[in-house]
Amino acid sequence: MTKPHYQLYINGEWCEGSNNQTLDSYNPATGAAWATFACASPEDVERAVDGAKAALNNPEWAKMTATQRGKLIYRLADLIEENAEKLGKIETTDSGKLAHETVAQTRYVSDYYRYFAGLADKIEGATLPIDKADMHVFTTREPIGVVAAVVPWNAQMFLTATKLGPALAAGCSIILKASEVAPCPMFAFAELIEQAGFPKGVVSVITGDAENCAIPLTSHPDVDKIAFTGGPEAARHVVRNSANSFAVTSLELGGKSPIIVFEDADLESAANGLIAGNFGASGQSCVAGSRGFVQRSIFDEIMKRVEEKAKNIVIGNPLNPETHVGPLCTKAQVERIKDTLEKSVAQGATIRFGGHAPEDADLADGNYFCPTLVECPNTDIETQTIEMFGPVMSLVAFDTEEEAIAMANDSVYGLGSGVFTQNLARAHRVSQQIHSGVCWINTYRAISPTAPFGGYNQSGYGREAGSESVLQYTRTKTTWINISAEPMANPFIMR
């Protein structure tokens, strides 16, 4: 059977990379190559940036009214919804994420584009009450310019929507750089961009390695904004690269999110929250609640409930709707988890269940790893400090509210957090003291187009989603108009 091949989408045209480099994309469930894709060279990046810059001056885009832009984005949203099953299955085959999750998430992503489409003609300026006579002064917001959006493999459609949606609403042009790991859904998505009818150069989709693609893109002098999602180490390179153009940057980085369970919590809800926060998406989520802190009086009961629920988790083919946990995207993730668990046990941790690949021979060729629960004597254990990006949960007991807050904040990250308690005052009190960009109370991993998302500390800066995210793709211009009938005063005569 012939493997599908995906080309780059640059300036409205489908093409191979100028260096003719192609790579295989591997199905994490089988370990076999299932598709090939073209890789961009520095010359291809140059063409994409030149095209994006030209699009900003192309009347087809530059003179399009904000309302017309919104209608175009609405058209894209409809196409995404219509093709959600196709896109989701490609993403599942390419990354190993569960099909029922990728299809549902893609369908929901269409609402993100509708939200941003509605904001396109709500980007407003202001008239200023200036302190000088005969002066009319007002502000307007203009597109920031050429945007480079770097998107990882683990939630491509969602993380693209939170960048592409506001960029298009603001009138920018954008180059989407897909991960060279599992990029195929992004090229299938580019087909919808073409069908929607965006003018040439407004959106390009490329992929490739750091040297030939990511570095030339993020260091290009004509890039005005970089929107990056990925790890902190890569982000440091992006920030350094942005110095070439002083590009505005927004960073959504890694996480090691805490979930605090107090003794007055609904225990069933708390156990489900821990399961969702750690084993949902096979643990491959930047907001995975992999640092669990449970009050000592209920610690054993929570452990028992989590273990009972874990027994019913079905590990298997991600295309099977009965599967709960699929494969990890890469073999490197599996090896990293094994190594971290080994070190954690040596440090005094106890693996309560899991900690190994499944024994099913049918899964032997895939990147599978069993849901794992680690009991930790303290927060120094490596599973408590390192982002696992796999289905591994670490629990530590605490005694007091103050101790729980201190443990939760003892991290270089600050993306998500969770609190389970039925005490409303405590919920408000604790959530305000946790250093994270998002805090869920008695739930976990909920998202919405209207809710800003982003982190503190080494989890990055800037916010995605919500109305304020659109403004991050604009610049403010101040216009002064002298409305006096008299000539402008001689600057050398002081009054």
The proportion of the chain whose per-residue pLDDT surpasses 90, expressed as a percent, equals 97
Task: Compute the distance between CA of residue 201 and CA of residue 199 in angstroms, rounded to an integer.
Answer: 6
Pair 418, 459 in one domain: no
CA distance 430 to 264: 14
Residue 329 near residue 366, CB atoms below 8 Å: no
In the chain, the amino acid numbered 291 is: R
Residue 208 lies in a domain: yes
Name the domain count of the chain.
Answer: 2
Is the residue at 495 inside a domain? no
Tell me: the pLDDT tens digits for 4-59?
999 999 999 999 999 999 999 999 999 999 999 999 999 999 999 999 999 999 99
Classify residue 446: in a domain, yes or no: no
Residue 438 CA, chain-centre distance (Å), reads 13
Q: Are residues 277 and 324 in the same domain?
A: yes
**pLDDT for 489:** 87
Average pLDDT on 308-326 reads: 95
Q: How far apart are CA 257 and CA 289, in angstroms?
A: 5
Considering the domain architecture, whether residues 471 and 429 belong to the same structural domain is answered as no
Does the pLDDT at position 108 exceed 70? yes
Confidence at 494, pLDDT banded by 50, 70, 90: confident
Read off the pLDDT of residues 352-369 as tens digits, 9 standing for 90 and up. 999 999 999 999 999 999
Give the domain CATH number at 228.
Answer: 3.40.605.10
| 252 catalytic residue (yes or no) | yes
d(CA 73, CA 80): 11
pLDDT per residue as tens digits for the range 114-125 = 999 999 999 999
Domain assignment of residue 248, given as a range: 5-253+455-479
In the predicted structure, residue 213 carries a pLDDT above the cut 80: yes
pLDDT of residue 244: 86
| pLDDT of 495 higher than 70 | no
| Contact partners, residue 82, CB within 8 Å, separation at least 6 | none
Q: At which residue do the structure tokens 């005063």 appear?
A: 489
Give pLDDT, residue 101. Answer: 94
Tell me if 484 is assigned to some domain. Answer: no
pLDDT digits (tens, 9 = 90+) for 220-273: 999 999 999 999 999 999 999 999 889 999 999 999 999 999 999 999 999 999
Predicted pLDDT of residue 2:
87
Average predicted confidence (pLDDT) for the chain: 96
Listed residue (75, 41, 51, 365) closest to 199, CA to CA: 51
Catalytic residue among 91, 101, 180, 252: 252
Q: Percent of the chain beyond pLDDT 70?
A: 100
Q: Is residue 492 in some structural domain?
A: no
Residues 271, 234, single domain; the answer is no
pLDDT tier at 493 (50, 70, 90 boundaries)? confident
Q: What is the mean pLDDT of residues 76-104?
A: 97
Residue 264 lies in a domain: yes
Same domain assignment for residues 202 and 302: no
Whether 478 has a pLDDT exceeding 80, the answer reads yes
Do 241 and 320 reside in the same domain of the chain? no
Tokens representing residue 7 in the block: 């080309």
